[in-house]
Structure 1
């Protein structure tokens, strides 16, 4: 976070906005990661939790800006403290709602059910692989330029290759992850989720092209093919900025798991409530652990992304691989791309 004062303040504002938007984009039946019946979404304890959370977000942002302006504490420390504070606020809100839910028996008498959509297996949402073509092409072009200039530093090309190699399996895994379907509105929620999944997969493939485009410009600067100037650097990072903005716009329009999207056709609500599965979710709906669930990836209760089911053995293999890669990078065995290296 070291940098100009305006950048430090902007990062604080962005962090506050990100945490503040999370409850607004979450599904109404999952306030702060707690599963509640649809008829209970307007409970006073939920409204109070949101008000306290929002006041805490604002107060934390003001305090962080004041500390940065005083310039006695490293901005990085301020940002880490702000994230920790906001996470604590979310955890407290989640605990308050969960406590009220237990004490007042919100699910007493409710008919709980789980719904699935078999058409997502017989007629799945297929990734548009053509969208990955720009990433592959840009990687090839970057490698060809590197060979032409006779450079010995291909770290940026390796990063591009890593993106191109990892994005397809991630796309396939997400497309086959357990769908988020509401037992109260099975057809409507399945329709929304299908549209949402299509948008996520398309954005993921397009983002791969944006990353490789930025790495192409970084490579040209690194190999001194083009001069490293402020305008060149800005142009180089425009693809990443475009991808970032696209994800934000999509997240706001679709909402968590696509619940803001308009379903195809109307459907009356059923007499069922989505099953209360809080016992499998931890850390305010951020961590999922269910040994009886065969799903490896599940959609998190907050945000436009998925998480690993820590009750699945393969999840620990994936985490171990990531940890090994991190250790190797830390020891310098695996060299990460570094501008100006």
Structure 2
């Protein structure tokens, strides 16, 4: 749904931009205007610059820990870079493809600002709150399904790719040799070779119209910090008693059958310490009783996920392990970036 709505908005904007650009060329009295050149300019401005912007912003994100820039300024950098790319690409193409002077180039580009402003407002303020939004995954509690900045290797058990969260700073090879990793078949193994550099995380569409259901991946505000956004898999519904036994989810004492795409996924229900077994919410001896409009969420990489099992702070009137419906923003529907990770979720 989110991908469809996004495509419709961009499709309408693409047509509107072409019409505005054609009007601008006529207004600037540019001669020998051919449809092919107009379409080429539209594709380069609306599609090409967006891809280049994503690549640049990902490189800038890697420099955060070394840059002396306030954290709240980083989103503005991406928006500013995108606007600059739009303007530069439009002016260069108009000047070269249509043999226009600087005055004609400027006049021809002025009408194109209108559809760009409209789509910015629609995507940033209207669609994001009412229809759908986007989110960049920040960690790896949902690996291998969703990845933040990560390290990749090959699973010794099945040969599939395996993943773990990339550290903020370069660490020794010994660190990676002891790091738990999870593969695409949900095998958890230990260690890999120290990578030369980390890989970028996923960008996803989030549908605000979809009503959350069991096994959905949801984006939500952390109950202990409303400014923090997290993604987890929803496994427990209002009114249910949730427990984890032998890696499976039990609802009111009955083992749930997982969907086909999650076959092999096992959830950790206790820790074995040197002296004792440590239990947490949802373990057999501490089941989670959900109230009205409360949900229980887990990370697919459950040995590395800070999910409902471990929460200690709760919103007023709710249990510590409960995710209130009011804090759920939407349902993750697709990975749209990077292209090699594109995936639609059932």
Q: TM-score range by the shorter chain?
A: under 0.3
Q: Which has the larger radius of gyration?
A: 2
Bigger proportion of residues as strand: 2
Higher relative CO (CA 8 A, sep ≥ 6), structure 1 or 2?
Answer: 1
